Each structure stands twice: as structure tokens, then as C-alpha cells.
Structure 1
Amino acid sequence: ATLKTLQATVISAICLPPLDIDECVVLNGSCQQRCVNTQGSFSCECEMGYRLHADERTCIMIDPCASGNGGCSHICQNERGFAKCECHPGHYLSADKKSCGDIDECAEVTARCAYHCVNTLGSFSCVCNPGFELGADGKQCYRIEMEIVNSCESNNGGCSHHCEHSTNGPHCSCNRGYLIDLDGKTCIDLDECEIGEACCSQFCINYVGGYECSCKAGFQLSVDGCGCDALDDDELEEEEVEIARFPDLRFRRPPQLLHYTALRGELTLVHKVVCLDNTFGHDCSLDCEDCMNGGKCNSETSGCFCPPGWTGIICNESEYSCPKGLFGKSCKKKCNCANTGSCHRVYGACLCDPGLYGRFCHLTFPKWAFGAGCSEECLCVKENTLECNARNGTCSCKSGYQGNKCQKAVNLVPSMR
């Protein structure tokens, strides 16, 4: 070869690019779906509805329903990486293939109600004319031949408080301070403070079945229970002393009661209550730990033996009493208790009669509640019970029933002579 030919061969060997190898030819470059050859290398790609795995070879199906339910308003089905929308029974798929509309069964022949058809969301219901009742198939109506039973007689018609029988069944209503829940039967507390129905000028405290007003430091509640009156210097000093000495009120387990009954020709009401487990008090809610101001339990465990200057069943009342309706260090403060309730002669706390509760004894217990703040529900079988004791929850049975819940029927057999 000549010198020029040798030089051209050397230059060509140095300057020409290397020959590319197509890796995709052999086993698709080990790619699961598509292999794309590049200069000196290759890459794997996935078809629509799939994404590349971390190994950069295999493809994973994308679940279109995982994000926003695939845009479907009801049910989303993953079909080979594409979202397919479906609807719940009683609905149809709209033209956008995503949202669902309600099927009006009453407008179609599917309802077939004998009298009236009422369309509901996703379904329908048949309604009969007055004097007829719906059959077991939910469509046919049959004339009512039997006498209508009082719908409130069994379990108070399912009502929490008051039940009134009507042709449409039980009609429930609630005590003052409550409102009827969405089920039309349950009574829930009405928060007068929240909805602005309270009369309080400063602070409002909501309670079950009512509310109470309170005042800032330096004020006392007016006799109307709503407004706040400023205290003078003597009353301010007296107020501080009284607050510091106010007893700590404690609530424990429900009292253990033993009931004695007497039969006098027929069933009678409970006429005596005896406390158990070394408890005492009118509702058996006190024990020796409740003795205050250095008092100790007496030998009969029926109250506390008090040191000089103190009296009361738990030694929480001063012997230096004020005239009725007044309290405080100088007996200048007026009691603000409603319903003729009396107040503590030292602290001014209202002492409520049975059936009343609240800071001013102005709240009435619901019919089937008892205990402190009417916080416990009576366990009496309501249709067999005359009343539930507001203090301890004991049941007074109707004639022909007995048991601690009035749950047992009594067969009254006339005596043979």
C-alpha cells in the first residue's frame, strides 16, 4: 500500500463512530413490554395504563380507582388500567359515564303499588289510604278490621320522654330544654347557651335539660337568675372567704339500697329505705369519708359526730345560722333558689327538693331520670311502672307487677273461703 492509502486508513479508524449494538433484538432487551434502542444503550417503556417498576424492566398496572375513586360518584372498577364507573341499585349511570342519578321507580312499572307510591333516593315505598295497612309484600293494602292498639302502651312507643298516640303511630315530644332527634323518638339536650336562647348577661353554663347563668369576679347573680349585680367591698371580702371554704362535692358509685315492702291485701309501694355498706343519708350516698370540719362517724354509722360550732349530718353546717332566705358571714346575702328551695346558711348553695336540680334548683328532672344532675337513667319497665324515684331510681310498680324493675307480672288469685 502507498503512504497516502495507509494514512487514510489510520484516519478512518480514528474518526468514525463505533458501531451501535441493538440490545432490543435479543429477548426484547429483557423489557416486559416495549424496548427502545438508543445510541450505545436502551430503555424499557410501558403501555398506557401501566408504569415502569423500580427494576426498570417490568411494568405494573396503574389502579385508576385509587385516586379520587377514578372520578366515579358511586363504584369504580379497574378494567385493564382504565376506570369503569358503576352505580348502586336504584340508580343509573349518567351520560358523563361517571355520575349516578336516582331511578324514579314510581314513574316506571317496577313499583306496582296498590295505592300510592313515594319515590326515595335509590328506592321507593308504597303507602296506603287511611283505614288500610301495608301487606307483607310491601305493595298490597288491606283494610284494618281490628281495633287499633294504643301505640304508646308498649315501651312508651319508643319515645324518650312523652308519647301521644295517633293514627300514624306514636308521636314523641320532649321536656323543656330538650329537642327531638332525627329519629323522631330520642330526646337530646338543647344547648340554650350555644343557640342564644339563654337570658344570661355574663356567663352561660349549659346543663342537661336546661342552663344556668354565672357572673364574673366582683359580681353576684341577680334574683332573676339572669343579670349580675356588683358587690360592695364588704360583700367582696365575704365572697372570697366563702369561696375558700366551699366544700368539695364528690360523687361516688350509685347507693346500695335495701327495700322493704308490706302486703296489705294487694301490692303496695315501698315505704322504708335502709342503707347498706356503712352508708347513710336520705339517699344512702354518704359515708364516713364525707364527715367535714373534724367530724367523725358516730357509733351507729348513721351520720357524723361534730365538734363545737358545727352541725348537720356531715358537719358542714354552722351552728351560727342566718334567718331563712339569707346567708353569709353577716347574713346580708340573699338566697337565689327557685321553687321555694332553701339555701345553705354559710355557703349559700341551694338545697334542692327531690325532682329538682341545678345551681338554683330551677331544673325539673325528666320523667325517667334520677340521681345528681339527673345523670342516670331509670331501669324500670316503663309500661309497668307508675313512677321512678328522682333520688335513687327505685321503681313504683302498677297493680299486677312487681320486681326491682317492675318486670314480673303477678297472678292475683282470689282467696277461697
Structure 2
Amino acid sequence: CSNNNGGCEHSCMANAAEKWCSCRDGFEVSTDDWTKCADINECDSTKGVDYNQECHTCVNTDGSYTCVCRNGYELDPSTKQKCIGELSPQAENMRTKQNGGITRTTKYALFVHTCSCDHGFELHPDGKSCIDVNECNGEKGVDFELNCQICMNTKGSYACNCYEGYELQPDGKSCIGQLVVQYTFTEYEFDCLSDVHECKRGLYEVDCHTCVNLIGGHTCICNDTYVLDASNNNETCIG
């Protein structure tokens, strides 16, 4: 064996009387030449004995084998020699009825993959992709905020625009300004939201001589010889 590995392709073994060749796992000594090693085709042998019971379609490789898996399964990344998946409750119930009660670990149970979606999305009918939920098509106060005056759908969520005299709250999904009425199961309740004070914030036209705040808006007091401009919501003076 010390001379050219005894002529053996893989391993040379010897004792005082003789020498012989041996092969690595997945190979056997060739019947044509005892110094050569031939691949063992595990896929031609017995399932569950020579290759894994959970290998759906066995594919022979040099010195080993791998598997092709059916839809809903994937190749076990650690061994590459069996198919794995998630046990479906439907499959478990079916097997329980047939076999008089089995556990989720039974190797004959059916396996499937399922998908789930992030908040604001729902599963497409194809069961593989997610689509946006348009909250604005839903019920006000349920699918989007009660105080969202103009709902605008966005990808995975929604945003709001507010009427004149109102302003958007920091959450971007409700407006503050005028008195709103909310209905509960047994009574009406009034929720007075803070008014935007245009006069204090300087949110009025230069032609408004003296700004007067109103709930949800403002008007003006005009100097002598000037009158309110009705065409501009009584928010400026003309003369």
C-alpha cells in the first residue's frame, strides 16, 4: 500500500499476508477491476432503506443521491436527501380519521406551504402573493378614522386630507377643527375638537382689516368705507 496506494482508486488495506482495496461511502469495489470503485445507485434500491422515505423522486449522484420534491414541498437544506414542508390541519384531520388518531409527526402526513400578508394587505386568490387593502372603500370609523374627512388610499395604509378650516393631526389620519357628532350603541355623544385659530396664526388675507375667529373658519371687521367681500367667503374687505 505504501507504493502508489497499492494501485487502489480509493483506499488500500493490507496485512502480513495480503492487500485489498476498499471504497468510500456511496461506492463499491468494481466487479470488473478490484482496484477500482463504482458508484452505488441508491435510487435503484429500496425506498426507506437505501434512500430516504421522504424523498419524492430519487436522483442518483456520484457517490450519493438527492431528491426532486412535489409542489408544496422543498428540499431539506441540511441533508439534500428528503422533502420537507408544513403539515396542514386538513391533512392531519384526514389521516386521523383514516388511522384512528395519529400525531403531527407521522411521516406519511401531507405537507403544504401557506402564505400570510403584512398589515394593510390581503392574500391574493392565487394564494402566493399579497395585494393592497383599500381602506377608503370600507366603512368610516371602522376601516379608517371617523375624523378622516377625505380618505386617500396608499400602499398598505391610507392618508387623509382635511376640509378648509381644519388641519391634519400628527397621525396623518384624522382632522381637527369643527364640532363632530359620534353615534354609540345607546346614545349620541358630542366630541368637541379644538378649532384652528386662523387669526392667532396669521392664516388670513392681508385685506382682512381685523380678523375674527369662528369655529371652523374666520371673518373680518372692515375699516370705514370698506365692506366684506361675499365672493371670498366674507374673509376680506373691499372698498
- TM-score exceeds 0.5: no
Q: 1 or 2 for the larger relative contact order (CA 8 Å, sep ≥6)? A: 2
TM-score (norm 2): 0.31
TM-score (norm 1): 0.19
